Amino acid sequence: MPEDNIDHVNFDDLSKRAISQPLISHIYTADPSAHVFNGKIYIYPSHDIDAGDAFDDLGSHFAMEDYHVISMDGPQGEVTDHGVVLHVDDVPWADKQMWAPDAAEKNGIYYLYFPAKGHDGIFRIGVAVSSRPYGPFSPQPEAIKESFSIDPAVFKDDNGKYYMYFGGIWGGQLQRWRTGTFKSEQAESPVAFLPSDDEPALCSKVAKLTSDLLEFAETPQDVLIIDEDGKPLLSGDKDRRFFEASWMHKYNGKYYFSYSTGDTHFICYGIGDTPYGPFKYAGKILEPVVGWTSHHSICEFSGTWYLFYHDSSLSKGVTHLRSVKVTPLEYDENGFIKTIKPYL
């Protein structure tokens, strides 16, 4: 239920019909990236605030300044907020808009990956390091070399290799990198430089990380999503094409690439045979939630799979004040994910 019709929504009724409730309500949190570290669930979300910026199609109202980490002993367990683990003022290269983060672990070291706009107004992706999953995290002095756009998601494959998926169109600036260099003209238009409707859609990007997990080990390449005929999804296929919020998980040896369709508000996915794809479009994971954005992660805990997601029900529909939630996720006998309706 995106922003239109929001005036007609009875939020008390909607909250009662919601399949799950906010995990925490003393702050607003969004974009939950969940991982199991040391037998506990750790969630790395955005920390939503109201900085007074007006709603626009570039996402200027998402003016977040810091990150918290949330942990739980299990999906039904008590939730701990570990407080501020990284602030934009502590990141030399970053100026503002600390958007959707993710984390990874290697050899007992924890890495927090985050996008932010640099002082030049260009989104880059940074990394900060800690000896504990709940931080605090110390940022690297520079952003990851040749990084751009938003929404990093880091996936560890069974062979110990790590891959970063990233990118987002409109305010996430992916379309402005189409030619390989950043287009600074028409900065106020979220759709300038997008392919036309009958051209292949822009893709999320993927790059293997270096063994120290601090840089790209290769030039990022396209994460292709193909239709039932093996053709790339088109830019005009707005109910299915990639917009932002990449996530990767593995189920029964197959690679599941999931993402948000942005302006059509679905979480969708495709299935592939390698971390690079291509991924054959496989369906919807989550129907639209209250609020404009939808963003998720998927992880297994004690043999059950869970979808972590957000909505704006607690803030009564305020797009940039969201709350993190969790609900079980099921596969059918053919490995397809059963679509989740967030409200009964």
Taking the complex as a whole, the smallest distance from the CB of residue 311 to ligand FUB amounts, in Å, to: 11
Q: Are 304 and 39 in contact (CB under 8 A)?
A: no
Neighbours of 312 (CB within 10 A): 26
Nearer to ligand FUB, 204 or 293 (CB): 293
Chosen residue from 99, 166, 247, 281 binding ligand FUB by CB under 6 A? 99
Neighbours of 20 (CB within 10 A): 18
Residue 114 interacting with ligand FUB (CB under 6 A)? no
- Phi, psi for 15 (deg, rounded to 5): -65, -35
**Tokens for 253?**
């040896």
DSSP labels, 139-166: EPSSPPTT--SS--EEEE-TTS-EEEEE
Catalytic residue among 48, 102, 244, 311: 244
Chosen residue from 29, 46, 147, 235 binding ligand FUB by CB under 6 A? 46
Residue 237 interacting with ligand FUB (CB under 6 A)? no
Size of the site for ligand FUB (CB under 6 A): 13
Chosen residue from 100, 201, 206, 209 binding ligand FUB by CB under 6 A? 100
* Footprint (CB under 6 A) of ligand FUB, residues 162-201: 168
Residue 245 interacting with ligand FUB (CB under 6 A)? yes
Q: Residue 150 has what DSSP assignment?
A: S
Catalytic residue among 31, 48, 151, 237: 31
Nearer to ligand FUB, 62 or 306 (CB): 62
For residue 180, give every residue at least 6 positions away whose Cβ sits within 8 Å of its Cβ, in sequence order, or none: none
120 is catalytic: no
Q: Are 151 and 205 in contact (CB under 8 A)?
A: no
Chosen residue from 18, 23, 30, 206 binding ligand FUB by CB under 6 A? 30
Taking the complex as a whole, the smallest distance from the CB of residue 200 to ligand FUB amounts, in Å, to: 22
Taking the complex as a whole, the smallest distance from the CB of residue 218 to ligand FUB amounts, in Å, to: 24
Residue 28 interacting with ligand FUB (CB under 6 A)? no
Phi-psi region of 16 (alpha: psi -120 to 50; beta: other; left: phi over 0): alpha
Residue 31 interacting with ligand FUB (CB under 6 A)? yes
Q: Are 202 and 235 in contact (CB under 8 A)?
A: yes
Report the distance separating Cα 109 and Cα 21, nearest Å: 32
Nearer to ligand FUB, 42 or 292 (CB): 292
Single-letter amino acid, residue 203: C
Nearer to ligand FUB, 77 or 121 (CB): 121
| Block residue for tokens 């609900």 | 327
Chosen residue from 244, 265, 278, 314 binding ligand FUB by CB under 6 A? 244
Report the distance separating Cα 239 and Cα 57, nearest Å: 18
Q: Classify 11 as helix, strand or coil.
A: helix
Per-residue binding letters, 268-307, with ligand FUB (x by CB under 6 A): -------------------------x-x------------
199 is catalytic: no
Report the distance separating Cα 158 and Cα 152, nearest Å: 20
Which amino acids are annotated catalytic? 31, 244
Residues that bind ligand FUB (CB under 6 A): 30-31, 46, 62, 99-100, 150-151, 168, 244-245, 293, 295
